[in-house]
A and B are shown apart, each in its own frame.
Chain A
Amino acid sequence: MTYDKPLPDTSDGSAPFWEGCAQHELRIQECSACGHRRWPIGPVCTACLSPEHTWVTLPGTGEVWSWIVYHQSFNKAWEPDLPYNVALIKVDGAHTMISNLVDVEPDAVHVGQRVEVVFEDATDEISIPKFRPVS
């Protein structure tokens, strides 16, 4: 089975994040100098500019900050999925990230809904973090 949707470019400094995803862990950079957690992935701390950091594993829970539903095709590989959702998730212990909601009908989604991370194994190397409602 081939996966033809866009995949991450892991040569841009994001490899540790995607290595975490492959192990089904959601990781984030934490500054060793001031403790600030930054997202998206970047070479220096967005609070103090220190490059020193560690990767910490988040609990993987969060809440729906907002969500939208695509009805128009902007990308061939995503076309068969129409209509599909894109969500902005406020991740516990971190910031917001773009993802998809799975195992839920669009009508059942609401802002503030509690969710947890699940990983879609796209290729042997890449697993993509997505979120599903916590029952």
Chain B
Amino acid sequence: MGKRPGTTALGLGLDALSLAIADAGIDKSEIDGILTHPGTTSREGANHYLRLAEAAGIDPRYAGSKSMGGATAGALVQEAIMAIDAGLATTVACVFGDAALTGGQRFNSPNGDPGLSWGIWGMFGPQANSALGARRHMSLYGTTSEQLGAISVTFREHAQLSPDAVMYGKPISLEDHQSSRWVVEPFHLLDCCLISDGGVAIIVSSAERARDLAKPPVHVAGMGQGYTARKSEAEDWWYLPHQKAVLDEAWAMSGLGPSDIDVAELYDNFTFSVLLWLEHGGFVERGESGAFVAEGNLKLGSTLPTNTHGGSLSDAYMQGWTHIVEGVRQIRGEAGPRQVPGAETCLTTGRGMALNTANALVLTK
């Protein structure tokens, strides 16, 4: 991940697939399911799964592509679980690749968001939706830019423990956050995630099959997904009511709750996104998340170590895929200097589009 000039979305996804196959200790011939997330620079559109499978030399029994922005990774893992549970596949590779930084990135281009007509009023780019939510949260609950900055600084501290992170070796202070330029107010530059090249692959199989693979299995104890498709017609769209439903579902399925979670990897396209996950997950009451993060509760060694890899703000922006990878590493005990000692439970979340899509996974040992 990071800056990889000359690479392509397809090539990065295949590199990741190769690494994941080696990590699992399986043979490529065992993969009978291919689920993919076309990157913003992928050329294949809805046929992405076919091209990737062709390029990987795999004729799958089960396949498909989804584009749900930052919710795609979790949605594909959930679909893989359902396919395996239904007997349609045994070993499913979920793959993402994007040359978003050097391959002609589109995140900041005009009309790059699904609300094309909003350009009539000058509303462009991915920041706007979350910025509107942040402003209203600030107005209703007294949340401050400094509290958002505490999230940014904490995740950057965590990235200093991960040599693979894009922002490794580049610590920041709260003053740096406050003095970074405005992008879309109330978001400073350091409230916004990175734009990165990279690829990620996650291999899903049954708990039984995973038992004797090369690495200790990580189980999905609970999951949920949900959508607020309506935007302007849903007056609480800015607060993302579907995210609460997603987490309620994941808690119910897993039999666990917020107090049982050892480590959290929460989708952080912008700092504000983290506040809503904390409120929707029941880690804090509505409106109390700003104070919670400012108290340092997301730091390693504290109440709820969060985005231990640095998150999208400081590790790399892989549309939420690396949050699941980091969750797996934490549960396996592979996270090195940033390992949460004895971590046995992890919440991972993803969200995408114009705040519309969301899902969560509860990972356990």
Q: Which A residues have a C-beta under 8 Å from some C-beta of B?
A: 5-9, 38-40, 46, 65-72, 74-76, 78, 81, 83-84, 86, 88, 90, 95-100, 106, 110-112, 128, 130
Q: List 30 contacting pairs A-B, 8 Å CB cutoff, sorted by A.
A: A6-B120, A8-B117, A39-B233, A46-B230, A66-B139, A67-B132, A67-B135, A68-B128, A68-B132, A68-B135, A68-B185, A69-B182, A69-B185, A71-B184, A72-B125, A74-B109, A75-B124, A78-B124, A83-B182, A86-B118, A88-B132, A90-B235, A95-B232, A95-B234, A95-B235, A97-B232, A98-B115, A100-B122, A110-B139, A112-B139
B225 to A: closest C-beta gap in Å = 22
Known interface pairs A67-B135, A68-B185, A69-B182; A74-B235 also in contact (CB < 8 Å): no
Q: What A residues does B140 contact at CB under 8 A?
A: 111
B216 within 8 A of A: no
Interface string of B178-204 (1 = CB under 8 A from A): 000111111000000000000000000
Contact among A9, A70, A86, A106 for B117, CB-based, below 8 A: A9
Given contacts A69-B182, A88-B132, contact A7 B120 (CB under 8 A): yes
Q: Which residues of A contact B108 (CB under 8 A)?
A: 72, 74
A5 cross-chain contacts in B, Cβ below 8 A: 119-120, 122
In the complex, are the beta carbons of A65 and B235 less than 8 A apart?
Answer: yes
Contact A75 B122 (CB under 8 A): yes
| Complex contacts, B184 vs chain A, CB 8 Å | 68-72
Q: Is B21 an interface residue (CB 8 A)?
A: no
Measured between beta carbons, the chain A residues less than 8 angstroms from B317 are none
Q: Does B110 contact A (CB under 8 A)?
A: yes
Q: CB-CB < 8 A to B133: which residues of A? A: 66
| Minimum Cβ distance to chain A for residue B181 (Å) | 7
- On whether the beta carbons of B131 and A98 are closer than 8 Å, the reply is no
Cα A5 to Cα B121 with chains together (Å): 9
Inter-chain contact A86/B235, CB cutoff 8 Å: no
Rounded to whole angstroms, the CA-CA distance of A24 and B128 in the bound complex is: 27
- With contacts A70-B184, A75-B122, A86-B122 taken as known, whether A111 is within 8 angstroms of B136 at the C-beta atoms is yes
Interface contact B122-A111, CB-CB below 8 Å: no
CB-CB under 8 A from B121, the residues of chain A are 86, 98-100, 128, 130
Within the complex, which residue of B120, B124, B230 is in contact with A74, where a contact is CB–CB below 8 Å? B124
- Are A8 and B128 also in contact (CB < 8 A) when A39-B232, A90-B235 are? no
Judge if B123 is at the interface, Cβ distance under 8 Å.
yes
User: How many angstroms between the C-alpha atoms of A38 and B122 in the bound complex?
Assistant: 23
- Determine the interface band of chain B, counting residues with CB < 8 A from chain A: 35 or more
Cβ of A96 to closest chain B Cβ, rounded Å:
5
Shortest CB–CB separation between residue A3 and chain B, in angstroms?
11
A58 CB to nearest chain B CB (Å): 14
Find the B residue at minimum CB distance from A82. Answer: B122
| Partner of B136 from A38, A65, A78 at Cβ < 8 Å | A65
Q: Is B238 an interface residue (CB 8 A)?
A: yes
Q: Indicate whether A66 sits within 8 Å of B120 (C-beta atoms), given known contacts A40-B232, A71-B183, A88-B238.
A: no
Q: Are B117 and A74 in contact (CB under 8 A)?
A: no
Which residues from chain A contact B238 at a C-beta distance below 8 Å? 65-66, 88
Closest 5 CB pairs of A and B: A74-B124, A111-B139, A6-B119, A69-B185, A71-B182
> Which residues on B sit within 8 Å (CB–CB) of A86?
118, 121-123, 128, 132
* Chain B residues within an 8 Å CB radius of A100: 121-122
Contacts of B112 in A (CB 8 A): 74
B79 to chain A, nearest CB (A): 28
Contact B183–A72 (Cβ < 8 Å): yes
Contact with A along B133-163 (1 / 0, CB 8 A): 1011001100000000000000000000000
- Scoring B residues 233 to 275 as 1 if CB is less than 8 Å from chain A, else 0, what string do you get? 1110110000000000000000000000000000000000000
- Contacts known (A68-B186, A71-B185); A98 close to B233, Cβ less than 8 A: no
> With a CB–CB cut-off of 8 A, which chain A residues contact B231?
40
Closest chain-B Cβ to A95's Cβ sits at a distance in Å of 5
Chain B 270-291 near chain A by CB (<8 Å), digits 1 or 0: 0000000000000000000000
Known: A8-B120, A9-B117, A98-B115. A74 touches B125 (CB 8 A): yes
A6-B119, A88-B132 are contacts. A71–B181 as well, Cβ < 8 Å?
Answer: yes
